[in-house]
Structure 1
Protein backbone atom coordinates (compact mmCIF):
# COMPACT_ATOMS: atom_id res chain seq x y z
CA UNK A 1 0.00 0.00 0.00
CA UNK A 2 1.77 3.10 -1.25
CA UNK A 3 1.65 5.91 -3.80
CA UNK A 4 3.11 5.31 -7.26
CA UNK A 5 6.81 6.06 -7.34
CA UNK A 6 6.32 8.59 -10.14
CA UNK A 7 4.11 10.74 -7.87
CA UNK A 8 6.72 10.70 -5.11
CA UNK A 9 9.42 11.73 -7.61
CA UNK A 10 7.34 14.66 -8.91
CA UNK A 11 6.73 15.98 -5.41
CA UNK A 12 10.01 15.05 -3.79
CA UNK A 13 10.72 18.65 -2.68
CA UNK A 14 7.14 19.57 -1.75
CA UNK A 15 6.16 20.24 1.83
CA UNK A 16 2.56 20.88 0.74
CA UNK A 17 1.17 18.52 -1.90
CA UNK A 18 -1.49 20.95 -3.13
CA UNK A 19 -1.43 24.38 -4.83
CA UNK A 20 -1.37 26.08 -1.44
CA UNK A 21 1.68 28.08 -0.40
CA UNK A 22 3.08 28.05 3.10
CA UNK A 23 1.83 31.60 3.56
CA UNK A 24 -1.73 30.60 2.62
CA UNK A 25 -1.58 27.58 4.92
CA UNK A 26 -0.54 29.93 7.73
CA UNK A 27 -3.38 32.30 6.83
CA UNK A 28 -5.83 29.43 7.14
CA UNK A 29 -4.45 28.45 10.54
CA UNK A 30 -4.86 32.01 11.84
CA UNK A 31 -8.33 32.40 10.33
CA UNK A 32 -9.71 29.37 12.17
CA UNK A 33 -8.78 30.85 15.58
CA UNK A 34 -8.18 27.43 17.08
CA UNK A 35 -7.66 27.24 20.84
CA UNK A 36 -4.47 25.65 22.20
CA UNK A 37 -4.74 21.89 22.53
CA UNK A 38 -7.35 21.67 19.77
CA UNK A 39 -7.23 18.16 18.27
CA UNK A 40 -6.85 17.84 14.50
CA UNK A 41 -7.20 14.80 12.26
CA UNK A 42 -5.66 15.26 8.79
CA UNK A 43 -6.54 12.51 6.31
CA UNK A 44 -4.21 12.15 3.30
CA UNK A 45 -1.84 14.41 5.24
CA UNK A 46 1.08 14.14 2.81
CA UNK A 47 4.29 15.41 4.36
CA UNK A 48 2.50 16.75 7.42
CA UNK A 49 3.05 20.47 6.99
CA UNK A 50 -0.41 21.48 8.22
CA UNK A 51 -0.13 19.55 11.47
CA UNK A 52 3.52 20.38 12.12
CA UNK A 53 3.32 24.13 11.52
CA UNK A 54 0.00 24.52 13.31
CA UNK A 55 1.37 22.58 16.29
CA UNK A 56 4.29 25.03 16.36
CA UNK A 57 2.25 28.18 15.76
CA UNK A 58 -1.08 27.38 17.46
CA UNK A 59 -0.24 24.58 19.91
CA UNK A 60 -2.71 22.14 18.38
CA UNK A 61 -2.28 18.39 18.73
CA UNK A 62 -3.18 15.86 16.10
CA UNK A 63 -2.76 12.85 13.87
CA UNK A 64 -2.05 12.57 10.17
CA UNK A 65 -2.77 9.53 8.00
CA UNK A 66 -1.33 8.93 4.54
CA UNK A 67 -0.79 6.04 2.16
CA UNK A 68 2.73 7.16 1.18
CA UNK A 69 5.59 5.72 3.19
CA UNK A 70 7.89 8.44 1.82
CA UNK A 71 5.60 11.29 2.84
CA UNK A 72 4.92 9.84 6.28
CA UNK A 73 8.68 9.60 6.80
CA UNK A 74 9.07 13.25 5.85
CA UNK A 75 6.19 14.24 8.13
CA UNK A 76 7.84 12.59 11.10
CA UNK A 77 11.15 14.27 10.27
CA UNK A 78 9.41 17.64 9.95
CA UNK A 79 7.76 17.19 13.35
CA UNK A 80 11.18 16.54 14.88
CA UNK A 81 12.69 19.52 13.02
CA UNK A 82 10.03 21.88 14.37
CA UNK A 83 10.12 20.41 17.87
CA UNK A 84 6.53 19.19 17.84
CA UNK A 85 6.97 15.41 17.71
CA UNK A 86 5.33 15.20 21.13
CA UNK A 87 2.22 16.99 19.81
CA UNK A 88 1.56 15.33 16.44
CA UNK A 89 1.83 11.78 15.17
CA UNK A 90 1.67 10.18 11.74
CA UNK A 91 0.20 6.87 10.61
CA UNK A 92 0.94 5.02 7.39
CA UNK A 93 -2.38 3.65 6.20
CA UNK A 94 -5.51 3.98 4.13
CA UNK A 95 -7.01 7.37 5.02
CA UNK A 96 -10.27 6.32 3.38
CA UNK A 97 -11.00 3.94 6.23
CA UNK A 98 -9.65 5.96 9.14
CA UNK A 99 -11.88 7.28 11.92
CA UNK A 100 -10.45 8.94 15.03
CA UNK A 101 -10.55 7.02 18.31
CA UNK A 102 -12.04 10.11 19.98
CA UNK A 103 -13.89 13.02 18.32
CA UNK A 104 -11.65 15.85 17.14
CA UNK A 105 -12.04 19.62 16.89
CA UNK A 106 -10.92 19.74 13.25
CA UNK A 107 -11.16 17.00 10.61
CA UNK A 108 -9.33 17.74 7.39
CA UNK A 109 -8.82 16.33 3.90
CA UNK A 110 -7.03 18.66 1.50
CA UNK A 111 -6.88 17.72 -2.15
CA UNK A 112 -7.76 14.05 -1.79
CA UNK A 113 -11.54 13.73 -1.84
CA UNK A 114 -11.02 10.55 -3.85
CA UNK A 115 -10.55 8.81 -0.48
CA UNK A 116 -14.30 9.10 0.01
CA UNK A 117 -15.28 8.66 -3.63
CA UNK A 118 -15.82 12.42 -4.04
CA UNK A 119 -16.85 15.39 -1.92
CA UNK A 120 -20.08 13.93 -0.44
CA UNK A 121 -18.39 10.71 0.65
CA UNK A 122 -15.39 12.55 2.09
CA UNK A 123 -17.68 14.87 4.05
CA UNK A 124 -19.44 11.83 5.51
CA UNK A 125 -16.09 10.22 6.39
CA UNK A 126 -14.73 13.33 8.13
CA UNK A 127 -17.98 13.85 10.03
CA UNK A 128 -17.50 10.47 11.71
CA UNK A 129 -14.44 11.86 13.51
CA UNK A 130 -15.71 15.35 14.27
CA UNK A 131 -17.01 16.74 17.57
CA UNK A 132 -20.40 18.50 17.57
CA UNK A 133 -19.62 22.08 16.59
CA UNK A 134 -16.26 21.10 15.11
CA UNK A 135 -14.76 22.38 11.89
CA UNK A 136 -14.29 20.33 8.74
CA UNK A 137 -11.67 21.32 6.14
CA UNK A 138 -12.07 20.25 2.53
CA UNK A 139 -9.51 21.17 -0.14
CA UNK A 140 -10.97 20.86 -3.62
CA UNK A 141 -10.43 22.07 -7.21
CA UNK A 142 -13.05 23.96 -9.17
CA UNK A 143 -13.39 25.62 -12.56
CA UNK A 144 -12.27 29.23 -12.66
CA UNK A 145 -14.08 29.20 -15.98
CA UNK A 146 -15.60 26.24 -17.76
CA UNK A 147 -13.69 25.08 -20.83
CA UNK A 148 -15.70 24.58 -23.99
CA UNK A 149 -13.25 22.28 -25.81
CA UNK A 150 -12.41 18.70 -24.82
CA UNK A 151 -8.68 19.38 -25.33
CA UNK A 152 -8.86 21.94 -22.55
CA UNK A 153 -10.78 19.54 -20.31
CA UNK A 154 -8.25 16.75 -20.67
CA UNK A 155 -5.43 19.29 -20.43
CA UNK A 156 -6.71 20.01 -16.92
CA UNK A 157 -6.35 16.33 -15.91
CA UNK A 158 -10.07 15.56 -15.81
CA UNK A 159 -12.17 13.39 -18.09
CA UNK A 160 -15.31 15.49 -18.33
CA UNK A 161 -16.24 19.13 -17.82
CA UNK A 162 -18.78 17.84 -15.30
CA UNK A 163 -16.01 16.45 -13.08
CA UNK A 164 -15.52 19.91 -11.56
CA UNK A 165 -17.92 22.64 -10.49
CA UNK A 166 -17.60 26.38 -10.75
CA UNK A 167 -16.81 28.03 -7.40
CA UNK A 168 -20.43 29.05 -6.68
CA UNK A 169 -21.58 25.52 -7.47
CA UNK A 170 -19.00 24.02 -5.13
CA UNK A 171 -20.04 26.32 -2.28
CA UNK A 172 -23.69 25.47 -2.98
CA UNK A 173 -22.81 21.77 -2.89
CA UNK A 174 -21.51 22.13 0.66
CA UNK A 175 -24.77 23.82 1.61
CA UNK A 176 -26.83 21.07 0.00
CA UNK A 177 -24.89 18.55 2.10
CA UNK A 178 -25.99 20.41 5.25
CA UNK A 179 -22.92 22.55 6.00
CA UNK A 180 -22.21 26.25 6.39
CA UNK A 181 -19.05 27.56 4.74
CA UNK A 182 -17.47 29.58 7.55
CA UNK A 183 -14.02 30.33 6.07
CA UNK A 184 -12.08 29.74 2.89
CA UNK A 185 -8.57 30.28 1.55
CA UNK A 186 -8.20 30.06 -2.21
CA UNK A 187 -5.12 29.34 -4.27
CA UNK A 188 -4.18 31.82 -6.99
CA UNK A 189 -2.16 31.38 -10.15
CA UNK A 190 1.09 31.99 -8.28
CA UNK A 191 0.15 29.22 -5.83
CA UNK A 192 -0.41 26.90 -8.80
CA UNK A 193 2.93 27.96 -10.31
CA UNK A 194 4.80 27.11 -7.14
CA UNK A 195 3.11 23.69 -6.99
CA UNK A 196 3.41 22.65 -10.65
CA UNK A 197 6.73 24.27 -11.57
CA UNK A 198 8.45 22.66 -8.59
CA UNK A 199 7.40 19.30 -10.04
CA UNK A 200 9.28 20.02 -13.27
CA UNK A 201 12.53 20.76 -11.46
CA UNK A 202 12.11 17.66 -9.31
CA UNK A 203 11.58 15.49 -12.39
CA UNK A 204 14.49 17.02 -14.29
CA UNK A 205 16.94 16.56 -11.42
CA UNK A 206 15.74 12.99 -10.95
CA UNK A 207 16.19 12.27 -14.68
CA UNK A 208 19.71 13.66 -14.60
CA UNK A 209 20.68 11.20 -11.86
CA UNK A 210 18.55 8.19 -12.92
CA UNK A 211 18.79 8.03 -16.72
CA UNK A 212 18.51 4.24 -16.84
CA UNK A 213 15.61 3.85 -14.43
CA UNK A 214 12.51 2.09 -15.77
CA UNK A 215 10.48 5.26 -15.20
CA UNK A 216 12.91 7.55 -17.02
CA UNK A 217 11.36 7.40 -20.50
CA UNK A 218 7.87 8.13 -19.26
CA UNK A 219 8.95 11.00 -17.03
CA UNK A 220 11.11 12.41 -19.84
CA UNK A 221 8.08 12.42 -22.14
CA UNK A 222 5.99 14.04 -19.42
CA UNK A 223 8.51 16.84 -18.87
CA UNK A 224 8.60 17.52 -22.62
CA UNK A 225 4.93 18.56 -22.57
CA UNK A 226 3.91 19.36 -18.99
CA UNK A 227 4.95 23.04 -18.81
CA UNK A 228 3.17 24.07 -22.02
CA UNK A 229 0.11 22.01 -21.13
CA UNK A 230 -0.05 23.63 -17.72
CA UNK A 231 0.18 27.25 -18.92
CA UNK A 232 -2.24 26.63 -21.79
CA UNK A 233 -4.92 24.88 -19.76
CA UNK A 234 -4.71 24.22 -16.03
CA UNK A 235 -3.33 27.62 -15.03
CA UNK A 236 -6.13 29.37 -16.88
CA UNK A 237 -9.10 27.15 -16.07
CA UNK A 238 -8.65 25.48 -12.67
CA UNK A 239 -8.93 27.03 -9.22
CA UNK A 240 -8.39 25.35 -5.88
CA UNK A 241 -9.32 26.20 -2.34
CA UNK A 242 -9.69 25.05 1.24
CA UNK A 243 -13.19 25.44 2.65
CA UNK A 244 -13.97 25.40 6.37
CA UNK A 245 -17.37 23.86 7.07
CA UNK A 246 -19.61 23.54 10.11
CA UNK A 247 -22.64 21.27 10.22
CA UNK A 248 -25.99 23.01 10.29
Structure 2
Protein backbone atom coordinates (compact mmCIF):
# COMPACT_ATOMS: atom_id res chain seq x y z
CA UNK A 1 0.00 0.00 0.00
CA UNK A 2 1.53 3.34 -1.05
CA UNK A 3 2.00 6.32 1.28
CA UNK A 4 -0.75 8.38 -0.35
CA UNK A 5 -3.32 5.64 0.24
CA UNK A 6 -2.20 5.15 3.83
CA UNK A 7 -2.40 8.89 4.49
CA UNK A 8 -5.84 9.14 2.89
CA UNK A 9 -7.18 6.30 5.04
CA UNK A 10 -5.54 7.63 8.21
CA UNK A 11 -7.10 11.08 7.78
CA UNK A 12 -10.61 9.75 7.27
CA UNK A 13 -11.78 10.92 10.71
CA UNK A 14 -9.51 13.98 10.89
CA UNK A 15 -9.59 15.54 7.42
CA UNK A 16 -7.47 18.52 8.49
CA UNK A 17 -4.03 16.94 8.02
CA UNK A 18 -2.47 18.75 10.97
CA UNK A 19 -2.91 18.82 14.77
CA UNK A 20 -5.68 21.42 14.74
CA UNK A 21 -9.16 21.24 16.18
CA UNK A 22 -12.22 22.38 14.25
CA UNK A 23 -12.42 25.48 16.47
CA UNK A 24 -8.80 26.37 15.75
CA UNK A 25 -9.33 25.92 12.01
CA UNK A 26 -12.36 28.19 12.19
CA UNK A 27 -10.48 30.94 14.04
CA UNK A 28 -7.55 30.80 11.66
CA UNK A 29 -9.80 31.07 8.62
CA UNK A 30 -11.73 33.92 10.22
CA UNK A 31 -8.50 35.88 10.67
CA UNK A 32 -7.04 34.96 7.27
CA UNK A 33 -9.93 35.15 4.81
CA UNK A 34 -10.16 38.40 2.84
CA UNK A 35 -13.37 40.40 2.59
CA UNK A 36 -15.34 40.65 -0.64
CA UNK A 37 -14.45 38.90 -3.88
CA UNK A 38 -11.18 37.05 -3.57
CA UNK A 39 -9.17 34.12 -4.87
CA UNK A 40 -7.65 31.45 -2.66
CA UNK A 41 -4.90 28.94 -3.39
CA UNK A 42 -4.02 25.88 -1.30
CA UNK A 43 -0.64 24.34 -2.15
CA UNK A 44 -0.76 20.72 -1.01
CA UNK A 45 -4.50 20.80 -0.42
CA UNK A 46 -5.06 17.05 0.08
CA UNK A 47 -8.80 16.44 0.32
CA UNK A 48 -9.42 20.20 0.17
CA UNK A 49 -10.78 20.59 3.69
CA UNK A 50 -9.40 24.12 4.25
CA UNK A 51 -10.87 25.33 0.97
CA UNK A 52 -14.20 23.58 1.47
CA UNK A 53 -14.62 25.29 4.83
CA UNK A 54 -13.49 28.64 3.46
CA UNK A 55 -15.94 28.55 0.53
CA UNK A 56 -18.91 27.46 2.62
CA UNK A 57 -21.26 30.41 3.05
CA UNK A 58 -18.91 32.78 1.17
CA UNK A 59 -20.20 32.91 -2.43
CA UNK A 60 -17.80 35.73 -3.28
CA UNK A 61 -14.78 33.43 -2.89
CA UNK A 62 -13.20 31.22 -5.54
CA UNK A 63 -10.38 28.76 -4.94
CA UNK A 64 -7.74 26.55 -6.49
CA UNK A 65 -6.25 23.49 -4.81
CA UNK A 66 -3.10 21.66 -5.87
CA UNK A 67 -2.01 18.18 -4.84
CA UNK A 68 -0.42 15.01 -6.20
CA UNK A 69 -2.86 12.66 -4.44
CA UNK A 70 -5.51 11.87 -7.05
CA UNK A 71 -7.76 10.02 -4.60
CA UNK A 72 -7.74 12.95 -2.17
CA UNK A 73 -8.62 15.36 -4.99
CA UNK A 74 -11.49 13.09 -6.02
CA UNK A 75 -12.86 13.29 -2.47
CA UNK A 76 -12.50 17.08 -2.49
CA UNK A 77 -14.29 17.30 -5.82
CA UNK A 78 -17.15 15.09 -4.63
CA UNK A 79 -17.51 17.05 -1.38
CA UNK A 80 -17.58 20.35 -3.25
CA UNK A 81 -20.30 19.09 -5.57
CA UNK A 82 -22.29 17.81 -2.59
CA UNK A 83 -21.97 21.21 -0.87
CA UNK A 84 -22.98 23.06 -4.03
CA UNK A 85 -19.66 24.87 -4.39
CA UNK A 86 -18.09 22.78 -7.14
CA UNK A 87 -18.28 25.66 -9.61
CA UNK A 88 -16.03 27.78 -7.35
CA UNK A 89 -13.35 25.19 -6.63
CA UNK A 90 -10.78 24.17 -9.24
CA UNK A 91 -8.50 21.26 -8.38
CA UNK A 92 -5.15 20.60 -10.02
CA UNK A 93 -3.54 17.17 -9.99
CA UNK A 94 0.12 18.15 -10.10
CA UNK A 95 3.23 18.84 -8.08
CA UNK A 96 2.64 22.00 -6.04
CA UNK A 97 6.24 23.07 -6.63
CA UNK A 98 5.51 23.27 -10.38
CA UNK A 99 2.12 24.96 -10.23
CA UNK A 100 1.70 28.14 -12.25
CA UNK A 101 -1.38 30.32 -12.16
CA UNK A 102 -2.95 32.89 -14.45
CA UNK A 103 -3.11 35.56 -11.79
CA UNK A 104 -2.34 36.39 -8.14
CA UNK A 105 -4.25 35.11 -5.10
CA UNK A 106 -5.51 37.07 -2.11
CA UNK A 107 -4.82 34.19 0.29
CA UNK A 108 -2.32 31.38 -0.19
CA UNK A 109 -2.51 28.40 2.16
CA UNK A 110 0.00 25.64 2.83
CA UNK A 111 -0.46 23.81 6.11
CA UNK A 112 1.69 20.80 6.90
CA UNK A 113 3.27 20.62 3.44
CA UNK A 114 6.54 22.52 3.92
CA UNK A 115 8.55 19.32 3.45
CA UNK A 116 7.61 19.48 -0.25
CA UNK A 117 9.79 22.60 -0.65
CA UNK A 118 12.44 21.53 1.84
CA UNK A 119 11.39 23.82 4.68
CA UNK A 120 9.28 26.74 5.82
CA UNK A 121 11.16 29.62 4.16
CA UNK A 122 11.23 27.99 0.70
CA UNK A 123 7.50 27.35 1.13
CA UNK A 124 6.92 31.03 1.87
CA UNK A 125 8.97 32.05 -1.15
CA UNK A 126 6.72 29.94 -3.34
CA UNK A 127 3.62 31.34 -1.65
CA UNK A 128 4.85 34.88 -2.28
CA UNK A 129 5.21 34.16 -6.00
CA UNK A 130 1.45 33.51 -6.12
CA UNK A 131 0.38 36.30 -3.74
CA UNK A 132 -1.42 39.50 -4.68
CA UNK A 133 -0.16 42.77 -3.16
CA UNK A 134 -1.61 43.11 0.33
CA UNK A 135 -2.55 39.43 0.41
CA UNK A 136 -2.04 36.96 3.24
CA UNK A 137 -0.47 33.55 3.68
CA UNK A 138 -1.79 30.87 6.02
CA UNK A 139 1.06 28.46 6.73
CA UNK A 140 1.58 25.69 9.25
CA UNK A 141 4.76 23.82 10.12
CA UNK A 142 6.59 22.11 12.93
CA UNK A 143 9.00 23.50 15.52
CA UNK A 144 10.88 22.06 18.48
CA UNK A 145 9.04 22.45 21.78
CA UNK A 146 12.28 21.25 23.38
CA UNK A 147 15.67 20.03 22.20
CA UNK A 148 15.10 16.77 20.32
CA UNK A 149 16.49 13.76 22.15
CA UNK A 150 17.75 10.50 20.72
CA UNK A 151 14.27 8.95 20.76
CA UNK A 152 12.93 11.80 18.64
CA UNK A 153 15.81 11.57 16.19
CA UNK A 154 15.39 7.80 15.97
CA UNK A 155 11.77 8.42 14.99
CA UNK A 156 13.04 9.86 11.71
CA UNK A 157 13.87 13.51 12.39
CA UNK A 158 17.08 15.48 11.90
CA UNK A 159 18.29 17.85 14.65
CA UNK A 160 18.21 20.85 12.30
CA UNK A 161 14.89 19.94 10.69
CA UNK A 162 13.17 22.52 12.88
CA UNK A 163 14.08 25.32 15.27
CA UNK A 164 12.41 26.45 18.47
CA UNK A 165 9.36 28.71 18.20
CA UNK A 166 11.12 32.07 18.81
CA UNK A 167 13.80 31.22 16.25
CA UNK A 168 11.20 30.06 13.77
CA UNK A 169 9.32 33.35 14.05
CA UNK A 170 12.59 35.33 13.90
CA UNK A 171 13.49 33.63 10.61
CA UNK A 172 10.08 34.41 9.17
CA UNK A 173 10.22 38.08 10.13
CA UNK A 174 13.81 38.39 8.88
CA UNK A 175 12.50 37.16 5.53
CA UNK A 176 10.13 40.14 5.36
CA UNK A 177 6.93 38.64 6.77
CA UNK A 178 4.84 39.91 9.67
CA UNK A 179 2.60 37.58 11.71
CA UNK A 180 -0.91 39.00 12.12
CA UNK A 181 -2.26 35.93 13.92
CA UNK A 182 -1.06 32.53 15.02
CA UNK A 183 -1.98 29.36 16.82
CA UNK A 184 0.28 26.87 18.58
CA UNK A 185 -1.30 23.43 18.64
CA UNK A 186 -2.07 22.22 22.15
CA UNK A 187 -1.12 18.81 23.57
CA UNK A 188 -4.80 17.89 23.36
CA UNK A 189 -4.90 18.76 19.65
CA UNK A 190 -1.77 16.70 19.05
CA UNK A 191 -3.14 13.68 20.92
CA UNK A 192 -6.47 13.86 19.12
CA UNK A 193 -4.70 14.07 15.77
CA UNK A 194 -2.33 11.18 16.44
CA UNK A 195 -4.96 8.90 17.98
CA UNK A 196 -7.19 9.68 14.99
CA UNK A 197 -4.39 8.98 12.50
CA UNK A 198 -3.34 5.65 14.00
CA UNK A 199 -6.78 4.59 15.16
CA UNK A 200 -8.61 5.28 11.92
CA UNK A 201 -6.01 3.36 9.93
CA UNK A 202 -6.14 0.47 12.41
CA UNK A 203 -9.92 0.33 12.30
CA UNK A 204 -9.86 0.23 8.51
CA UNK A 205 -7.45 -2.72 8.60
CA UNK A 206 -9.58 -4.62 11.12
CA UNK A 207 -12.67 -4.01 9.00
CA UNK A 208 -10.95 -5.18 5.80
CA UNK A 209 -9.22 -8.42 6.77
CA UNK A 210 -9.32 -9.73 3.21
CA UNK A 211 -7.88 -6.58 1.61
CA UNK A 212 -4.33 -6.98 0.26
CA UNK A 213 -3.36 -3.78 2.08
CA UNK A 214 -4.51 -5.03 5.48
CA UNK A 215 -1.03 -5.90 6.80
CA UNK A 216 0.55 -2.73 5.41
CA UNK A 217 -2.09 -0.60 7.14
CA UNK A 218 -1.60 -2.30 10.51
CA UNK A 219 2.18 -2.02 10.23
CA UNK A 220 2.01 1.66 9.27
CA UNK A 221 -0.33 2.44 12.18
CA UNK A 222 1.87 0.60 14.66
CA UNK A 223 5.07 2.25 13.40
CA UNK A 224 3.49 5.71 13.51
CA UNK A 225 2.11 5.13 17.01
CA UNK A 226 5.50 3.95 18.26
CA UNK A 227 7.32 6.95 16.73
CA UNK A 228 4.81 9.31 18.32
CA UNK A 229 4.49 7.80 21.80
CA UNK A 230 8.15 6.88 22.29
CA UNK A 231 9.66 9.54 20.05
CA UNK A 232 8.38 13.01 19.26
CA UNK A 233 5.38 13.36 21.63
CA UNK A 234 5.94 16.55 23.64
CA UNK A 235 9.01 17.47 21.57
CA UNK A 236 7.58 18.31 18.15
CA UNK A 237 5.27 21.32 18.14
CA UNK A 238 3.16 22.80 15.37
CA UNK A 239 2.45 26.46 14.69
CA UNK A 240 0.00 27.88 12.17
CA UNK A 241 0.47 31.53 11.22
CA UNK A 242 -1.35 34.18 9.24
CA UNK A 243 1.33 36.29 7.57
CA UNK A 244 1.55 39.41 5.47
CA UNK A 245 4.51 41.03 3.76
CA UNK A 246 6.03 44.06 5.44
CA UNK A 247 5.39 47.10 3.25
CA UNK A 248 3.09 45.32 0.78
CA UNK A 249 0.02 47.31 -0.20
TM-score above 0.5: yes
Partner SS, residue 160 of structure 2: helix
Distance 1:33 1:211 in 2: 44
Q: Which range moved further: 198-207 or 161-170?
A: 198-207
Cα drift, residue 168 of structure 1? 0.6
* Structure 1 unaligned residues grouped into runs of 5+: none
Which residue does 1:204 correspond to in 2? 202
Tell me if the contact between 1:44 and 1:66 (Cα under 8 Å) persists in the aligned partners. Answer: yes
Which residue does 1:84 correspond to in 2? 85
User: Quick check: 1:17 aligned with 2:3?
Assistant: no
Alpha-carbon spacing, 1:51–1:229, altered in 2? closer, same or farther (3 Å): same
Aligned to 2:165, which of 142, 164, 167? Answer: 167
Distance 1:47 1:96 in 2: 18
Partner SS, residue 240 of structure 1: strand
Tell me if the contact between 2:32 and 2:107 (Cα under 8 Å) persists in the aligned partners. Answer: no
Partner SS, residue 234 of structure 2: helix
Cα drift, residue 228 of structure 1? 4.8
Cα drift, residue 229 of structure 1? 3.9
Which residue does 2:96 correspond to in 1? 95
Distance 1:9 1:153 in 2: 26
User: Quick check: 1:37 aligned with 2:37?
Assistant: yes
Aligned to 1:183, which of 158, 181, 184? Answer: 181
Cα drift, residue 102 of structure 1? 0.6
Cα drift, residue 230 of structure 1? 2.0
Cα drift, residue 55 of structure 1? 1.0
Tell me if the contact between 2:151 and 2:232 (Cα under 8 Å) persists in the aligned partners. Answer: no
Tell me if the contact between 2:41 and 2:108 (Cα under 8 Å) persists in the aligned partners. Answer: yes
Distance 2:35 2:3 in 1: 34
Query: What are the superposed Cα offsets for residues 177-234 of structure 1, whole Å, 9 maximum, x if unpaired?
Result: 1111121122212221222111222222222244355543343334345435423433
Distance 2:116 2:222 in 1: 31
Give me the TM-score of the superposition, normalised by structure 1. Answer: 0.89
Partner SS, residue 141 of structure 2: strand
Distance 1:24 1:62 in 2: 21
Cα drift, residue 33 of structure 1? 5.2
Give me the TM-score of the superposition, normalised by structure 2. Answer: 0.88
Which residue does 2:50 correspond to in 1? 50
Tell me if the contact between 1:3 and 1:67 (Cα under 8 Å) persists in the aligned partners. Answer: no
Cα drift, residue 163 of structure 1? 0.8
Tell me if the contact between 1:34 and 1:58 (Cα under 8 Å) persists in the aligned partners. Answer: no
Distance 2:55 2:6 in 1: 30
Root mean square deviation, CA, Å: 2.1
Tell me if the contact between 2:33 and 2:54 (Cα under 8 Å) persists in the aligned partners. Answer: no
Structure 1 stretches of at least 4 aligned residues deviating more than 6 Å after TM superposition: none
Distance 1:141 1:215 in 2: 30
- Number of aligned positions between the proteins: 244
Distance 1:123 1:225 in 2: 31
Which residue does 1:153 correspond to in 2? 153
